[in-house]
Amino acid sequence: MSYGYSIWYIPENYEWIQKTYNMNHIPHFTIQTNLKDMEEATEIYNKLNDNETMTIQKDCQIFESMYENDPLQGIGWYIKTNINMRHKAHLTIKYYANVSEINDKDFIEWKDEQKEQVCFKAIVDTLSIHPERWKILRQATR
């Protein structure tokens, strides 16, 4: 079970976020996931703006399951964005196979004074159940 292909917005400074918060995956907020193939992903990708902003909104918390097929549990921050989505916009710090694996020390406050982040769109291979194996297949110019 996986997320198939996904459409994300990735913060331009994602390497800094990844290092600062010790993430083993690419920081992002998901526009759509569980897409069956690149053709479907490309159709959605082509309709989106190249860049969008996100603003960190809340303290770190456990996310409820948000997608039809959602094999992993996540913790992170909810965000504000101008994009209408079927799920609550969020930025995940860490993924877990089971909620019982979550530890109190995993809840981290946002450390950057700049809570607003400029992001670029991307099509991502999320076929693996392991977030560290997810990879960008196509992205807008940064």
Over the stretch 14-51, which tens digit does the pLDDT of each residue have?
Answer: 999 999 999 999 999 999 999 999 999 999 999 999 99
Whole-angstrom Cα distance, residue 14 to residue 110? 14
- Give the whole-angstrom CA distance, residue 142 versus residue 118: 9
Please report the domains of the chain, with CATH numbers, ordered by start residue.
Answer: 4-139 (3.90.1140.10)
At residue 16, the pLDDT reads 93
Regarding pTM above 0.95, the answer is no
Question: Which regions of the chain are under pLDDT 50?
Answer: none
Three-class SS state of 141: coil
Secondary structure E strands in the chain: 4-11, 29-35, 51-56, 61-62, 73-80, 90-96, 116-126, 135-139
Q: Given this model, what pLDDT does residue 112 score?
A: 74
| pLDDT for 68 | 84
CB–CB of 23/60 below 8 Å?
no
